[in-house]
């Protein structure tokens, strides 16, 4: 019997080893050949040629999103210590709540140019109850911008706050979102009526796009969802806010300050400033291009690029950057004028590029 056991053992050993051949095996990767640089820019600046290839000569493609005046700028920076090209692509349709879609980008992009006149003029005198106001201190995105009259030049989506001092010495503050220099897909004005018995009615007026629904807040407390707000308030100041959802996907929020004492110490929304802008500047999907070379800085923003454009050859997903954000690869042909910051010299810049932009 021992003999039998011994040969059983041999058999088991034999077949166990054979079965090793069926176990999961590690795959050997295909030979890794040197790849070609992916992100490149080659062309000339003011007649001097240049070549930038990420991965060679310490050139690196850095991608990120800049927030410029409350608007996303899909950005990338390609270069090394000697030369660097930065491209920023402004977000478009910033009042729409729609998922990011590269299909929305046009094949021809324009360069962002500063408007020749202010986009908005914030003035105490333009407020409907200006006779009860002694002073208005303006804050833009949290920063004090001026008293009574303030101009906004650059496009953006701003959070504008008015700190109002009334004639009786009382003060109140109201903040509203303002979109300037970008396309606004929906607009409206909040109106209200307060009766002496404290009954308050609030509704939207002069809206350009049908409203889907509105969420109403009283003193930052959600009180209902309806087309109008009707409620009773006491004789104190109350903040009435409306979150407006338009049928085209636009989403805005507007606020007013209601004087419960009916003494005129109210603050209207800032629609008068936003809707009153006459500038035709629209920075949706526009490009700002900056170049650093040999210690000098050049920018497309300071030059006349009304005839310049970027021809987008392709825009496709590339991968994630070190921050784990989505990066798109933009192949484009660029012809632009750039202005040197100190001397003000204008130089032509022409190049073709495969550029990375963080976009989401």
| Contacting residues toward other proteins, per CB under 8 A | 1, 3-4, 7-8, 10-11, 13-14, 17-18, 20-21, 23, 25-29, 31-39, 53-56, 59-63, 319, 321-322, 356
Least Å from the CB of residue 136 to other proteins: 48
Nearest-5° angle of CA 84, CA 53, CA 112? 40
Pick between residue 78 and residue 164 the one whose CB is nearest to other proteins. 78
Quote the DSSP letter at residue 308: -
Least Å from the CB of residue 42 to other proteins: 15
Least Å from the CB of residue 68 to other proteins: 23
Burial bucket for residue 125 (CB in 10 Å: 0-12, 13-18, 19+): exposed
Pick between residue 7 and residue 317 the one whose CB is nearest to other proteins. 7
Pick between residue 38 and residue 296 the one whose CB is nearest to other proteins. 38
Q: CB-based contacts of 84: which residues, under 8 Å, 6+ apart?
A: 77, 78, 291, 292, 293
Pick between residue 7 and residue 144 the one whose CB is nearest to other proteins. 7
Q: CB-based contacts of 3: which residues, under 8 Å, 6+ apart?
A: none
Least Å from the CB of residue 11 to other proteins: 6
Pick between residue 77 and residue 339 the one whose CB is nearest to other proteins. 77
Least Å from the CB of residue 354 to other proteins: 11
Least Å from the CB of residue 356 to other proteins: 7
Least Å from the CB of residue 320 to other proteins: 10
3-state secondary structure 250-290: EEEEEEEEEECCCCCCCECCCHHHHCCCCCCCCCCCCEEEE
Pick between residue 63 and residue 241 the one whose CB is nearest to other proteins. 63
Pick between residue 141 and residue 326 the one whose CB is nearest to other proteins. 326
Answer for the pair 248, 183: CB distance below 8 angstroms, yes or no.
no
Answer for the pair 167, 77: CB distance below 8 angstroms, yes or no.
no
Return the residue matching tokens 């004028």: 337
Sheet containing 156-166: which strands, arranged edge to edge? 143-147, 133-140, 156-166, 171-180
Q: CB-based contacts of 294: which residues, under 8 Å, 6+ apart?
A: 82, 83
Cα–Cα nearest to 257, from 230, 220, 225: 220
Least Å from the CB of residue 332 to other proteins: 18
Least Å from the CB of residue 38 to other proteins: 5
Is 124 in a helix, a strand, or coil? Answer: helix
Q: CB-based contacts of 269: which residues, under 8 Å, 6+ apart?
A: 174, 176, 189, 190, 254, 255, 256
Pick between residue 57 and residue 212 the one whose CB is nearest to other proteins. 57
Pick between residue 77 and residue 265 the one whose CB is nearest to other proteins. 77
């Amino acid at each position: 019997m021992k003999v039998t056991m011994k040969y059983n053992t041999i058999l088991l050993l034999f077949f166990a080893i054979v079965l090793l051949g069926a176990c999961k095996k590690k795959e050997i990767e295909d030979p890794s050949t040197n790849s070609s640089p992916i992100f490149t820019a080659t062309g000339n600046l003011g007649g001097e040629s240049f070549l930038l290839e990420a991965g060679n000569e310490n050139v690196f493609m850095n991608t990120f999103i800049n927030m410029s005046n409350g608007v996303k700028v899909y950005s990338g920076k390609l270069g090394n210590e000697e030369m660097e090209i930065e491209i920023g692509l402004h977000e478009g349709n910033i009042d729409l709540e729609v998922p990011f879609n590269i299909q929305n980008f046009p094949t021809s992009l324009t360069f962002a140019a500063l408007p020749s006149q202010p986009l908005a003029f914030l003035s105490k005198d333009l407020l409907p109850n200006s006779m009860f106001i002694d002073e208005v201190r303006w804050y833009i995105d949290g920063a004090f911008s001026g008293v009574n009259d303030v101009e906004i030049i650059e496009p953006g989506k701003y959070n504008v706050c008015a700190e109002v001092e009334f004639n009786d010495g009382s003060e109140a503050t109201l903040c509203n979102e303002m979109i300037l220099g970008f396309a606004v897909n929906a607009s409206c004005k909040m109106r209200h009526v307060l009766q002496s018995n404290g009954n308050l009615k609030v509704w939207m007026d002069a809206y350009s796009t049908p409203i889907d629904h509105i969420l109403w807040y009283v003193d930052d407390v959600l009180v209902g969802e309806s087309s109008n707000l009707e409620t009773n308030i006491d004789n104190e100041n109350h903040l009435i806010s409306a979150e407006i959802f338009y049928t085209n996907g636009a989403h805005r929020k507007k606020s007013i300050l209601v004087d419960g004492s009916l003494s005129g110490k109210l603050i209207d929304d800032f629609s008068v400033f936003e809707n009153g802008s006459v500038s035709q500047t629209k920075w949706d999907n526009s490009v700002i291009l900056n170049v650093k070379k040999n210690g000098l800085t050049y920018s497309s923003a300071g030059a006349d690029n009304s005839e310049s454009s970027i021809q987008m050859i392709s825009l496709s997903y590339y991968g994630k950057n070190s921050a784990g954000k989505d990066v798109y690869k933009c192949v484009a042909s660029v012809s632009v004028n750039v202005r040197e910051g100190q001397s003000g010299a204008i130089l032509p810049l022409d190049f073709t590029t495969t550029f990375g932009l963080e976009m989401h």
